[in-house]
Amino acid sequence: GENVEQHPSTLSVQEGDSAVIKCTYSDSASNYFPWYKQELGKGPQLIIDIRSNVGEKKDQRIAVTLNKTAKHFSLHITETQPEDSAVYFCAASKVVGYIPTFGRGTSLIVHP
């Protein structure tokens, strides 16, 4: 089955800096890669996703890049703000019969 590795487990940055979280996956058939944000005391919420036919996708301060050959994808957050502090999960899945495999999560701390 699919295996998703996520790094780092903890990331501490100053407000205004950029943050990058990286994930690798094992199944070359995976073609959908979502990112979820989990705020304290809440369930995860989708923030951005990318399909395998696209190399990069942006939404305001967040972007995701995908390298199918190397089987890795990354989340980029620019101009970080304290409200970006949360746990972020990457996931990988096949679109057909969608069952995502999640990474172990990254705790992002943005210091004011």
Partner 1 sequence: DADVTQTPRNRITKTGKRIMLECSQTKGHDRMYWYRQDPGLGLQLIYYSFDVKDINKGEISDGYSVSRQAQAKFSLSLESAIPNQTALYFCATSLTRAGVYEQFFGPGTRLTVL
* Chain contacts with partner 1 (rule: CB under 8 A): 1, 6, 9, 32, 34, 36, 41-46, 49, 89, 93, 95, 98-100, 102-105
Strands (E), 39-85: 45-51, 56-59, 62-67, 72-77
Q: Which amino acid would we find at residue 41? A: G
The span from the CA of 64 to the CA of 21, in Å, is: 10
What is the DSSP code (8-state) at residue 34?
Answer: E
CB of 27 to partner 1, least distance (A): 14
Q: Please, which residue, 80 or 93, has the CB nearer to partner 1?
A: 93
CB of 17 to partner 1, least distance (A): 24
The span from the CA of 80 to the CA of 90, in Å, is: 18
Q: Please, which residue, 5 or 79, has the CB nearer to partner 1?
A: 5
CB of 51 to partner 1, least distance (A): 9
